[in-house]
Chain A
Amino acid sequence: MNLNKLTITEAINGLKEKKFSSEELVEDCFKRIKDIDEKVRAFVTVCENEALEQVKRIGGNVPNAEKPLLGIPFAVKDNFCTKDIKTTASAKVLENYVPVYDATVVKKLKEAGAIIIGKTNMDAWAHGSSTETSDFFTTRNPWNLNRLPGGSSGGSAAAIAADMTIGAIGSETAGSIRQPAAWCGVVGMKPTYGRVSRYGVIAMASSTDSPGPITKTVEDSALILGILAGKDENDATTSPLLVPNYLREIRVMGEMGGISWIKGIKIGVPKEYFIEGIEEEVKNNTLKAIDVFKKLGAEIVEISLIDPKYSVAVYTILQRSEVSSNLARYDGIRFGNNRTFFGQEAKRRIMLGTYTLSAGYFDKYYLKAQKVRTLICQDFEKAFQKVDIILGPTSPCTALPVGITKGASMFGELQDILVEASSIAGLPGINLCSGFSQDGLPTGIQIIGQNFSEELILKTSFAYEQATEWSKRKPNLE
């Protein structure tokens, strides 16, 4: 039946209409995993037994108001703690670690009735933008198995692109949702920092880590975000702001034939984001996307933002400093393996982070980076006085070949040059597929909004998605 090809919304409707059972849905996903994951390698752990047991307990029940995701299969990035299921962050230090508690995001999924079918591969400790830095194996891009899926949520993005799951969860510190979503041609939403709880997410950079949904459509993204968002008493950095009903907003818009509301929306396009070296086709597809918005009635405004290279510097310093501290707990005493099991990338980042925090260098690096962070935030505030949302390419290139990252000292941070500024400022952003290159590789555009403007971002994204056909294309993996 190939039920694994469904979107979350389609699956929910299908289950409600009793067109198929949740058992069939989950089994189709596992079948697909068995067929192709040997090639794609998106999963670190496949939880077939646990999942099938859970599905049995559902009986004949279908998704409802109380359990909106009842029976829907989800793939979860392996840096989210899942109780009694191995959680590794794709790192050798945690290769056998089994948490005794669930991350809040996982808890919310379970409470909504979702079925966790597996934990997906990532760059070890989320240190990277390729998934090649996983301590275990490299995930391949479903669109071209000789290419990388991006990272660090590469496994989740690949699983969605290859229809091995219906929904997926990733996390972004700076680009780790948006960039793999761009390379894999799927929808990746990074919410505002503090919108979704980080409790139970293996920390990378505490001040920017943001869990978020990776899905096949914008509607799916809105649905999941609505379930995951909200204040968490276990995470002091979550916002007390009420969570809007994102899905309803989109549906209302859709019903009203509602793309006309876009008329008058001001979309800012930062010229600095068309950096030197950007792939021609990425650039062209971005320009085409801008045309689509123009036709929909949006007003395109050229804006100027701080040169992205400064964001890379700020992010590199702040992230690596926080990483050096967050990875201090891995001493092998209470859990996991000892520190000799750290990979090269982790060691590199810990060393730089330790250096930039050390006496004599703190002011020069860490403090300076925090000050420039303020400038970046102010820069965005200024821009948002002129425009409602910001649009640009997500990644300057399409999926790069396997092997490209070996030995590079700053690969991750340089790849994410176009997404770091918004991450540093805590702003929400989404990746949408903007087309394909001649090679058949997806290109992506990103829409960035002000803090807690996910509603606007999702509506705008939905409009674009409806006006284009990209989300319907699938990779050929047979």
Chain B
Amino acid sequence: MRYIARLANLTLTDEEVKKIQKQLSETLKYVEALNELNTDKVEPTSQVTGLMNISREDEIKPSISQKDSLSCAMTKDNGFFKTKSIHEFK
């Protein structure tokens, strides 16, 4: 659980971990039902549209202004977004 929380970048209290663990198990039990279906020769579907080769021309479109870009940030500094330091790096 803790490992999953770390992967998901979530901080959970002990109580939350217990609760979510229980709920996760319940959910996983429900979805076990899928094993009743034989999918040996079935291809997975990740795109229901059937579309292919969608791309755009290499053209420049106007960007948003620096002001707009930073407008929603809580902490900024001189045109940069600012956040607490990542301790791993020097």
A and B touch in the complex (CB under 8 A): yes
A98's contact among B4, B55, B71, by CB below 8 Å, is which?
A: B71
Q: Is the CB of B74 within 8 A of A358?
A: no
Q: Is the CB of B33 within 8 A of A313?
A: yes
Q: Is the CB of B10 within 8 A of A207?
A: no
Q: Does A112 contact B (CB under 8 A)?
A: no
Give the residues from 74 to 118 in chain A that come closer than 8 angstroms, CB to CB, to chain B.
97-98, 100-101
Q: Is the CB of A233 within 8 A of B34?
A: no
Report chain A residues within 8 Å CB of B31: 313, 316-317, 365, 369
Interface flags for A304-333 (1: CB within 8 Å of B; 0: not) read 000001101110110000001000100111
A97's contact among B27, B49, B72, by CB below 8 Å, is which?
A: B72
Q: Is the CB of B45 within 8 A of A374?
A: yes
Query: How distant is the Cα of A342 from the Cα of B73 in the complex, in angstroms?
Result: 18
Give the residues from 1 to 58 in chain B that come closer than 8 angstroms, CB to CB, to chain A.
1, 4-5, 7-12, 16, 19-20, 22-24, 26-28, 30-37, 39, 42-49, 51, 54-56
Query: How distant is the Cα of A317 from the Cα of B29 in the complex, in angstroms?
Result: 12
Given that A194-B49, A333-B73, A370-B46 are known contacts, is A339 also in contact with B24, CB under 8 Å in the complex?
no
Q: Is the CB of B42 within 8 A of A207?
A: no
Report chain B residues within 8 Å CB of A310: 33-34, 36-37
Closest residue of B by beta carbon distance from A355:
B4
B53 to chain A, nearest CB (A): 10
A478 to chain B, nearest CB (A): 41
A176 to chain B, nearest CB (A): 17
Q: Does A429 contact B (CB under 8 A)?
A: no
Q: Does B88 contact A (CB under 8 A)?
A: no
Given that A98-B71, A377-B45 are known contacts, is A354 also in contact with B34, CB under 8 Å in the complex?
no
Q: Is the CB of A342 within 8 A of B10?
A: yes
Q: Is the CB of A312 within 8 A of B30?
A: yes
Q: Does A448 contact B (CB under 8 A)?
A: no
Q: Is the CB of B26 within 8 A of A410?
A: yes
Q: Does A239 contact B (CB under 8 A)?
A: yes
Q: Does A36 contact B (CB under 8 A)?
A: no
Q: Is the CB of B11 within 8 A of A339?
A: yes
A429 to chain B, nearest CB (A): 14
Q: Is the CB of B54 within 8 A of A410?
A: no
Q: Does A350 contact B (CB under 8 A)?
A: yes
Given that A100-B64, A233-B56, A310-B34 are known contacts, is A348 also in contact with B20, CB under 8 Å in the complex?
yes
Residues of A in contact (CB 8 Å), total 55
Judged by DSSP, the binding face of A is helix
A277 to chain B, nearest CB (A): 15
Q: Does A367 contact B (CB under 8 A)?
A: yes
Q: Does A347 contact B (CB under 8 A)?
A: yes
Q: Is the CB of B72 within 8 A of A351?
A: no
Q: Is the CB of B54 within 8 A of A100?
A: no
A347's contact among B10, B28, B71, by CB below 8 Å, is which?
A: B10
Q: Does A368 contact B (CB under 8 A)?
A: yes
Report chain B residues within 8 Å CB of A370: 44-46
Report chain B residues within 8 Å CB of A336: 72
Report chain A residues within 8 Å CB of B56: 233
Q: Is the CB of B37 within 8 A of A347?
A: no
Report chain B residues within 8 Å CB of A194: 48-49, 51
Given that A98-B71, A409-B27 are known contacts, is A354 also in contact with B8, CB under 8 Å in the complex?
yes
Report chain A residues within 8 Å CB of B71: 98, 100
Query: How distant is the Cα of A207 from the Cα of B47 in the complex, in angstroms?
Result: 7
Report chain B residues within 8 Å CB of A207: 46-48
Q: Is the CB of B34 within 8 A of A313?
A: yes
Q: Does B68 contact A (CB under 8 A)?
A: yes
Q: Is the CB of A351 within 8 A of B48?
A: no
Q: Does B83 contact A (CB under 8 A)?
A: yes
Report chain A residues within 8 Å CB of B22: 409
Report chain B residues within 8 Å CB of A348: 20, 23-24
Query: How distant is the Cα of A239 from the Cα of B49 in the complex, in angstroms?
Result: 8
Pick 14 A–B contacts, CB within 8 A, sort by A. A98-B71, A100-B68, A193-B49, A313-B33, A347-B10, A347-B16, A348-B24, A351-B20, A351-B24, A352-B27, A372-B39, A374-B43, A374-B45, A410-B27
List the 8 closest A-B pairs by CB distance, nearest first. A335-B72, A370-B44, A426-B48, A409-B23, A371-B39, A313-B31, A354-B8, A100-B68
Q: Which residues of A contact B (CB under 8 A)?
A: 97-98, 100-101, 193-194, 207-208, 233, 236-237, 239, 309-310, 312-314, 316-317, 324, 328, 331-336, 339-340, 342, 344, 347-348, 350-352, 354-355, 358, 365, 367-375, 377, 409-410, 424-426
- Given contacts A352-B27, A370-B45, A377-B48, 5 further A-B pairs with CB under 8 A are A207-B48, A313-B33, A351-B5, A369-B34, A371-B42
